[in-house]
A and B are shown apart, each in its own frame.
Chain A
Amino acid sequence: MSLLETIPSVFLDNGLEIKLKEIRSAPLISSWVWYRVGSRDEIPGKHGISHWVEHMQFKGTEKISPDEMEKSVARSGGVWNAFTYLDWTTYFETMPADKIDLALELEADRMVNTTYDEKEVDSERTVVISERQGRENSPGFWLSEALHNAAFRIHPYNHVIIGDQVDLESIQKEDLLGHYKTYYSPNNAVVAIAGDFEKDKMLQRITELYQDIPSGDDPPRVNRPEKAQRGEHRLTVEGPGETVLGDVAYHTPSASEPDFFPLLILDSILSGPQGLNMFGGGGITNKTSRLYKRMVEDKEVVVDIHGGLPATIDPYLYSLNFILHPNSTTEDALKILDEEIQRLQDSPPQADEIKRAVKQTQALFAYGGESITNQAFWMGFSEMFASYEWVTSYLDNIAAVTPDEVQQVAQQYLQPKNRIVGIYHPHKKGNSNQ
């Protein structure tokens, strides 16, 4: 199964985009429906509403009760789930090929027919609040929340996807229903299916299921671009524990910008490779990345460090997260981190570092490609912020990055004035940390 095969989109009259990929390695089909709605579409007072709507999508329609919905997928031996992100919300089922029709019908039905029962809304309110409270138990959650608040003064990426508790307590059924009706329509969705089927037959079935769903109005978008940051932000969060955590985030361009690929190579060199796999495939360790080698091994200022550069519609963040070594200080850790960044700004990486990053990317693609679920995921995911060509040309774009381009993006984006430094301090250690 080639990972790089071009998959043309088919559009129904109501605007629904369909991407289909035949894969005959196992009698399985993975079906995904993607909606262009996420926490970026939320306004103050309604933070967390996209994620809550995702929960409500499991509460049944006139045709199928929530209980039957859950059980029908499970008794078919399928797995299903849903995810809400900054830019999108998605629902998937991976099932034995002879059972997938059930999922196709279910997704078409809940695109427009979900029942928003008052009792279910109330019961789900406490569930969503409980989900947030579970995350609050982790110090990293508080740090991430504070960092997003500081990084985005204007843009809606400023709040965590789960939402603010005060909003989760006040959002009403009408709000949820309104959000659902605004964003859940065929013209705001992509259906991506991969697995053991014949394309023509599948397309005919998808057409049958979706063609009568009317197109909606173009959904409103919060258009509040973030202005360039004018100086470094530093923040601290205090809480229980013994361990100091750090999160250093730099404003970076969107995934569709040309600079994104040199930044991916930069990330790979500095903090280790990341792939696009959401399901299995595993990862590659980052022990030979520059920051791990210098900060964990040579200087022992941190016990672990990882980086992340998510693909998003609007400019977002390149984050470096570390756990401080108990015998070190945040000042020491940041000093070494800055030295390594300076090194990359002063001289371009070696060609073999780029070669290694390319090979790592190839391997991550190969591992991820074993999963039909991953293959279907990639088709829809990439359409949310670019197009599937972004995936099919991913390896070529990575391979085409030059050392000078990596140096240039390091100089342009990894500047102190463009970053937010967040530190989680356990109470007893105080702000000085020692």
Chain B
Amino acid sequence: MTKQDFSTLKSNSLPGSDDITRIQLKNGITFLFRPNMSSMTASIGGYIQAGSIYDPLEKLGLADFTTSTLMRGTQTQSFQEIYDSLESIGASLGIGCGPHTSGFGGKALAEDLPTLLNMLADVLMNPVFPKKDIERVRSQLLTGLDLRAQDTNSMAMLEFDKLLFKDHQYQYPSDGYIETIQALQVKDLAAFHQKHFGPKDMTLAIVGPFESESVISLAEEHLGGWLNEVQAEAMKVPDMPSPENSVQIHHAIAEKSQTDLVVGTIGPSRNWDGYYSALLGNSVLGQFGMMGRIGDSVRNEAGLAYYAYSSLSASIGPGQWMVSAGVAPENRDKALDLIKTELRKFVDQPITPEELQDVQSNYIGKLPLSLESNAGVASALLTMEQHQLGLDYLRNYEKMIREITPGTILEAAREFLDPDRLVISSAGPES
């Protein structure tokens, strides 16, 4: 039997400069829009320069606490009124905190976009941090920290970050610690909001079945008038060298069945020249197929773990390049040895042309899948804006991926990965 081609749509119209609108609203907010006339829904997303790197040391968790309380009440709406408006029309809106930015995302049926934007503007611009609501959120955050302390994966990552990013802002958890969350006051949240939330360096993206004029006018109406003269400038974070030697830590949590293991080092930032080489190389190492070479070795051949993969976390500042695995406590060191062996191989020899072809095809082929929904397109627009990738980034993507070679991947691997200079963190039963 011969392979058949079922496709009837011979070209896929990827978003690009001719169908993405990018303008500055009156107050400087960068606004991105891409129409999707066949859709019945609207997706919105965006970010503000108000992440956890702005937390003072004695107030770790402040950005996270602040974003968690923006929807607890505004000058004109109570918490219940806010959610009543959203949930009664089947809409959703959420605000969360990352290291550099606080991000928001929402969706609604297309006819309800004005309600969604109105709500977004109100909670971003006019939160009042009601005392009673703050205490309620505090209880929820503290419970979250109790659960985190029992979560082997979270604790392994927490210890990993602490060691990897020693003396750097990234060493601290964005959700803080019990003591810092207990100490935060309403005035701290209000002050953080006043200082960091505003239109400066803010980006808003909308995707849905609209004409650009009408959606621009809606964005102007709801967010174009927002001003904050005291808004702080976005902060830059320093680079971070790789660890000088390997360091290892185990965080004991009693009565757990499995140990979570994280092994890694500093990785590239999103705008590093060799980023795509690192990205494709990482796929060979621990993503492609059933978790790449790491999966082959640790899961398929040794049967040591249900999951064992590598990941590259690259954004504005220094990133992480790491391998994660969940293993039986008695197999931790065996898994660690296998992971180190794969890392050594990865930095010793170039990947094969077949491996390169595999991951190139994978990255090029899966692009349309990530753009299937309005939320997927909105997310792509925000990534393009945040890292200044250009409006034709998605259309240039295939070319960029095709330019990668085994040689550039080896260079990227050697730039960051050294099997003798790793941070090794595990959490699970006493070892």
Q: Are A70 and B290 in contact (CB under 8 A)?
A: yes
Contact A137 B256 (CB under 8 A): yes
Chain B residues with CB under 8 A of A331: none
Check B26 for interface membership: any CB of A closer than 8 A: no
> In the complex where A196-B7, A282-B107, A303-B143 touch, is A79 in contact with B369 (Cβ < 8 A)?
yes
Q: Closest CB-CB distance, B342 to chain A, in whole Å?
A: 16
Is the beta-carbon distance between B7 and A97 smaller than 8 angstroms?
Answer: yes
Select A240's contact among B12, B107, B150, beta carbons within 8 Å.
B150
Stretch of B33-41, B162-170, B212-220, B387-395 that contacts chain A: B33-41
Indicate if B3 sits at the interface (CB-CB under 8 A): yes
Question: Which of A98, A128, A287 is B5 in contact with, Cβ under 8 Å?
Answer: A98
Please determine whether B374 and A241 come into contact, CB atoms closer than 8 angstroms: no
Contact of A134 with B147 in the complex, beta carbons under 8 Å: no
Residues 1-52 of B contacting A (Cβ, < 8 Å): 1, 3-12, 38-41
A285 within 8 A of B: yes
**A112-156 interface code vs B (CB 8 A; 1 in, 0 out):** 000000000011111111111110111100000000000000000
**With an 8 A cutoff between CB atoms, is A364 at the interface?**
yes
B302 CB to nearest A CB, Å: 8
Residues 169-220 (chain B) with a chain A CB within 8 angstroms: none
A128 CA to B299 CA, complexed, in Å: 10
User: Which residues of A sit under 8 angstroms from B368, Cβ to Cβ?
Assistant: 26-28, 77, 96
Cα(A101)–Cα(B358), bound, Å: 18
Q: Is residue A167 contacting chain B, with contact meaning CB distance below 8 A?
A: no
A208 within 8 A of B: yes
Contact B87 A24 (CB under 8 A): no
CB neighbours (8 Å) of B9 from chain A are 24, 26-27, 97, 196
Taking CB as reference atom, which chain A residue is nearest B135? A300
Contact residues of A between 29 and 64, Cβ < 8 Å to B: 29, 58
Partner of B3 from A28, A101, A125 at Cβ < 8 Å = A101
User: A283: CB under 8 A from chain B?
Assistant: yes
Please choose the segment from A178-186, A198-206, A227-235, A406-414 that sits at the chain B interface, where 4 or more of its residues have CB less than 8 A away: A198-206
In the assembly, what is the distance between CA of A415 and CA of B86, in Å? 32
B373–A280 touching, CB < 8 Å: yes
> With A24-B8, A240-B150 in contact, do A304 and B140 touch (Cβ < 8 Å)?
yes
Q: Which residues of A contact B363 (CB under 8 A)?
A: 77
C-alpha spacing A284/B107, complex, angstroms: 9
Q: Are B365 and A67 in contact, CB atoms less than 8 angstroms apart?
A: no
CB distance from B425 to the nearest CB of A (A): 16
Given contacts A71-B288, A280-B375, contact A29 B367 (CB under 8 A): no
A289 — nearest CB in chain B belongs to which residue? B87
**Counting CB contacts under 8 A, is B316 at the interface?**
no
CB of B232 closer than 8 Å to a CB of A:
no
| B36 → A minimal CB distance (Å) | 9
Does A363 contact B91, Cβ atoms closer than 8 Å?
A: yes
- B288: chain A residues at CB < 8 Å are 71, 74
Given contacts A27-B368, A134-B306, are A123 and B300 in contact (CB under 8 A)? yes
Q: Which residue from A78, A123, A196 sits with its C-beta under 8 Å from B301?
A: A123
Contacts of B256 in A (CB 8 A): 136-137, 240
Query: Is B146 in contact with A124, judged by CB distance below 8 angstroms?
Result: no
Evaluate contact between A124 and B303: CB separation under 8 angstroms: yes
Residues of B within 8 A of A372 (CB): 372
Contacts of B61 in A (CB 8 A): none
**In this assembly, does B80 line the interface, its C-beta being within 8 Å of a C-beta of chain A?**
yes
B92 close to A137 (CB less than 8 A):
no
**Cα(A131)–Cα(B327), bound, Å:** 9
A98 B357 Cβ-Cβ under 8 A: no
Q: How far is the CA of A152 from the CA of B317 in the complex (A)?
A: 53
Interface membership of A399, Cβ < 8 A: no
Which residue, of B140, B254, B303, B358, has the highest number of chain A Cβ atoms within 10 A? B303
- A interface footprint on B369-385 (CB within 8 Å = 1, 0 otherwise): 10111111000000000
* Cross-interface CB contact of B6 among A66, A97, A284, cutoff 8 Å: A97
Contact B304–A74 (Cβ < 8 Å) = no
Known contacts: A77-B367, A240-B255. The answer to whether A297 contacts B374 by CB under 8 A is no
Question: In the complex, which residues 269-326 of chain B have their Cβ closer than 8 Å to any Cβ of chain A?
Answer: 288-290, 296, 299-307, 326
State whether the Cβ of A173 lies closer than 8 Å to any Cβ in chain B.
no
Query: For B372, what are the chain A residues with a Cβ–Cβ distance below 8 Å?
Result: 25-26, 28, 280, 370-373
A-side contacts of B62, CB under 8 Å? none
Q: Decide if B89 touches A243 in the complex (CB within 8 Å).
A: no
With A124-B303, A371-B372 already in contact, the answer to whether A101 and B87 are too (CB < 8 A) is no
**B146 and A198 contact, CB distance less than 8 A:** no
The one of B10, B40, B108, B306 in contact with A130, judged by C-beta atoms closer than 8 angstroms, is B306
- Is the CB–CB distance between B258 and A240 below 8 Å? no
Instruction: Indicate if the CB atoms of B365 and A78 lie closer than 8 Å.
Output: yes
Give complex CA distance A258, B120 in Å. Answer: 40
Are A323 and B303 in contact, with the CB atoms below 8 A?
A: no
B362 touches A77 (CB 8 A): yes
Q: A303 — which chain B residues lie within 8 A by C-beta?
A: 139-140, 143
A359: Cβ under 8 A from any B Cβ: yes
Contacts of A273 in B (CB 8 A): 87, 90
CB-CB under 8 A from A105, the residues of chain B are 1
Query: Across the interface, do A201 and B6 meet the contact criterion of CB distance under 8 Å?
Result: yes
Which B74-113 residues have C-beta < 8 A from chain A? 79-80, 83-84, 86-92, 94, 107-109
Are A359 and B90 in contact, CB atoms less than 8 angstroms apart? yes
Known: A94-B369, A303-B140. A130 touches B361 (CB 8 A): no
Query: A393 contacts the other chain (Cβ, under 8 Å)?
Result: no
Q: Which of B83, B301, B327 contacts A285 (CB 8 A)?
A: B83
Closest-CB distance, A366 to chain B (whole angstroms): 5
| B residues near A132, Cβ cutoff 8 Å | 257
**One of A75, A137, A283, A285 near B357 (C-beta < 8 A):** A75
Known interface pairs A71-B289, A287-B87; A76-B365 also in contact (CB < 8 Å)? yes
Given contacts A137-B256, A197-B8, 10 further A-B contacts (CB under 8 A): A25-B372, A27-B10, A123-B301, A239-B255, A240-B253, A280-B376, A281-B373, A284-B92, A285-B83, A363-B89
Q: Can you give 16 contacting A-B residue pairs, CB < 8 Å?
A: A24-B9, A26-B371, A95-B365, A97-B5, A130-B305, A196-B6, A242-B146, A273-B90, A286-B87, A287-B87, A288-B80, A297-B80, A304-B140, A325-B139, A326-B142, A326-B146
A: which residues have CB within 8 A of B?
A: 1, 24-29, 58, 66-67, 70-71, 73-79, 94-102, 105, 122-134, 136-139, 196-198, 201-202, 205, 208-209, 239-243, 272-273, 280-288, 293, 296-297, 300, 303-304, 323, 325-327, 356, 359-364, 366-367, 369-373
The 7 nearest A-B residue pairs measured at CB: A77-B365, A363-B90, A97-B7, A70-B289, A123-B303, A131-B306, A287-B83
